[in-house]
């Protein structure tokens, strides 16, 4: 299967249905590529070859018996903060080293029911804290397309696995851009669904009001196939919306019209095209906007007046929630435990040795903004600004159907650069955090590459539950 690196999820499913190859053959071919690239790319924390082949054999048996399921026999990769029963789940942190998930996260259970095969666990920034995958407790991931550069983060392992042809598709999580930013850097499609549309049950929590699970794929159609499986109401998640699963893939049942974006208005947020935007990123984004106009869309400049407050608001809200969520990792119930003379000593030693520098930095910041005397000055005020940011997006969607903007201010940079500059890393999220703060949907699709060959994505943003229009526009704009 020489074409395995270019194969899409939709193409694999077609091949499986046509019996051109079996799930075992497909899975074995991908495992060979994964193992061969692991030393250089390090996209995976764990590769479950034995388990994947057993699941593939079962999928072949079911298909031979006449059974059918949406993803039957299709291998996928899972970010290492998602529970898959019987597999390690470390969130790429040494403090969870050795922990094995006793149950499936809801998204894993839905994929399993749909017949998917789990290849392994993809690398990530520790507890999803970062934009480079360099904060992983198990070493960084390298960009498979722009070699020597970061893949983005925190879902960098998933992006590298898909972008490098090591997996047909993967799931990631997006707290402040952690699906869209690495998707942009690795030249793939990444979707941040409406908050609450995909269950968070069984996901290692980073910031509970911001986290969302989404697909990372080679094509928009593949993303639609995954969204239709993983979305929908989950009674195990109190924030889950009472909505049925999406039906996005049915858009591909009909060919594209000559003017597929006719009647659609795309807003260009002027604050996202300001100073600090790399010239090549700007040019590729503007080219995507012109392409949308040629496909029938109307372009309109819009304003998100409070966009400049996005980064400080995000890093207060996120770290506050993080400090509460990570309090559970104390060496008593999960993962690593460092013995000490008393319980307090055990807490201190386990967390000191098990947590990386970035996790400690954000825990301290989050604890500070929640502390007595500072709560109103920081956290309470940030929540008020978050409301203003959400209202900005709602007003923009009142004037247009979707927004079109860059994903990141610059292409992927070399590994090691900015590693000791947290503020510089935080600013790389400046164009993505708004969608998380507002809870709306967004996705990144490839927009081309720089002169140096580094991939660049363009971002489409839609109102809450606006996935149908979002995927319609993404399908039309997709570079194939």
Active site residue: 23, 93, 154, 199, which one? 154
Describe the chain by its helix, strand, coil percentages, rounded to 5: 45, 15, 40
Active site residue: 37, 92, 93, 178, which one? 178
Enter the tokens of residue 7: 């194969």
Residue 79 known to be catalytic: yes
Distance CA 449, CA 281 (A): 9
Who contacts 154 (Cβ-Cβ below 8 Å, separation ≥6)?
124, 125, 128, 129, 130, 131, 133, 172, 173, 175, 178, 182
Active site residue: 79, 110, 192, 454, which one? 79
**What are 300's strand-pairing partners?**
267
Q: Which residues of the chain have pLDDT under 70?
A: 1-2, 480
Kindly list the domain boundaries of the chain, sorted by start residue.
2-175+197-204+221-237
Kindly list the distances between the CA atom of residue 157 and the CA atoms of 121, 185, 191, 426, in Å, as whole numbers in the listed order: 9, 12, 16, 19
User: What are the tens digits of pLDDT across the range 165-202?
Assistant: 999 999 999 999 999 999 999 999 999 999 999 999 99
Mark 346-378 as b/e (b = at least 16 C-beta within 10 Å).
bbebbbeebbbebbeebbebbbbbbeeeeeeeb
Distance CA 177, CA 407 (A): 8
Kindly list the distances between the CA atom of residue 57 and the CA atoms of 33, 50, 63, in Å, as whole numbers in the listed order: 19, 11, 10
Who contacts 347 (Cβ-Cβ below 8 Å, separation ≥6)?
330, 331, 332
Enter the tokens of residue 139: 């070493």
The answer to whether the beta carbons of residues 197 and 213 sit under 8 Å apart is no
Enter the tokens of residue 21: 């190859």
Instruction: Quote the pLDDT of residue 123.
Output: 98
User: What are the tens digits of pLDDT across the range 228-262?
Assistant: 999 999 999 999 999 999 999 999 999 999 999 99
- Adjacency order of strands within the sheet including 402-406: 44-47, 117-122, 75-79, 169-173, 213-217, 189-192, 441-449, 455-462, 402-406, 265-269, 298-302
The answer to whether the beta carbons of residues 304 and 271 sit under 8 Å apart is yes
Residue 328 CB burial class (10 angstroms; 0-12, 13-18, ≥19): exposed
Strands 265-269, 169-173: pairing is: unpaired
Instruction: Quote the pLDDT of residue 388.
Output: 98
CATH superfamily, domain 2-175+197-204+221-237, is Amidase signature (AS) domain (3.90.1300.10)
């Amino acid at each position: 299967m020489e074409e395995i690196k270019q194969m899409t999820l939709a193409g694999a499913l077609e091949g499986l249905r046509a019996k051109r190859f079996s799930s075992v053959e497909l899975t074995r071919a991908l495992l060979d590529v994964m193992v061969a690239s692991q030393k250089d790319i390090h996209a995976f924390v764990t590769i479950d070859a034995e388990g994947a082949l057993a699941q593939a054999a079962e999928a072949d048996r079911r298909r031979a018996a006449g059974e059918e399921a949406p993803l039957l026999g299709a291998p996928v990769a899972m970010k290492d903060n998602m529970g898959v029963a019987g597999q390690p789940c470390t969130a790429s942190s040494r403090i969870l080293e050795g922990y094995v998930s006793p149950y499936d996260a809801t998204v894993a259970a839905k994929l399993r029911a749909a017949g998917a095969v789990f290849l392994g666990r993809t690398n990530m920034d520790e507890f999803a804290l970062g934009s480079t995958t360099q904060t992983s407790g198990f070493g960084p991931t390298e960009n498979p397309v722009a070699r020597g550069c970061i893949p983005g983060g925190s879902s960098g392992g998933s992006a590298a696995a898909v972008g490098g042809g090591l997996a047909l598709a993967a799931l990631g999580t997006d707290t402040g851009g952690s699906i869209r930013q690495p998707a942009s850097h690795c030249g793939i499609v990444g979707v941040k669904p409406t908050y609450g549309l995909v269950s968070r049950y069984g996901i290692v929590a980073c910031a509970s009001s911001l986290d969302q699970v989404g697909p990372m794929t080679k094509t928009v159609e593949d993303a639609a196939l995954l969204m239709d499986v993983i979305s929908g109401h989950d009674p195990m998640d109190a924030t889950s919306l009472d909505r049925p699963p999406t039906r996005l893939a049915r858009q591909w049942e009909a060919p594209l019209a000559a003017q597929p974006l006719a009647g659609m208005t795309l807003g260009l947020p002027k604050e996202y095209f300001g100073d600090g935007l790399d010239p090549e990123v700007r040019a590729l984004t503007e080219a995507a906007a012109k392409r949308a106009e040629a496909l029938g869309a109307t372009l309109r400049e819009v304003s998100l007046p409070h966009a400049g407050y996005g980064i400080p608001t995000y890093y207060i809200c996120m770290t506050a929630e993080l400090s509460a969520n990570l309090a559970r990792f104390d060496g008593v119930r999960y993962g690593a435990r460092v013995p000490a003379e008393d319980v307090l000593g055990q807490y201190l030693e386990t967390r000191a040795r098990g947590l990386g520098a970035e996790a400690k930095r954000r825990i301290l910041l989050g604890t500070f903004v929640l502390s007595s005397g500072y709560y109103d000055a920081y956290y309470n005020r940030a929540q008020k600004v978050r409301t203003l940011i959400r209202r900005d997006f709602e007003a923009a969607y009142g004037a247009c159907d979707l927004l079109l903007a860059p994903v990141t201010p610059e292409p992927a940079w070399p590994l090691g650069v900015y590693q000791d500059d947290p503020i510089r890393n935080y600013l790389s999220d400046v164009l993505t955090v708004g969608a998380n703060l507002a809870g709306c949907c967004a996705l990144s699709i490839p927009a081309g590459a720089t002169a140096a060959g580094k991939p660049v994505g363009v971002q489409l943003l839609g109102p809450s539950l606006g996935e149908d229009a979002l995927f319609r526009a993404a399908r039309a704009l997709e570079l194939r």
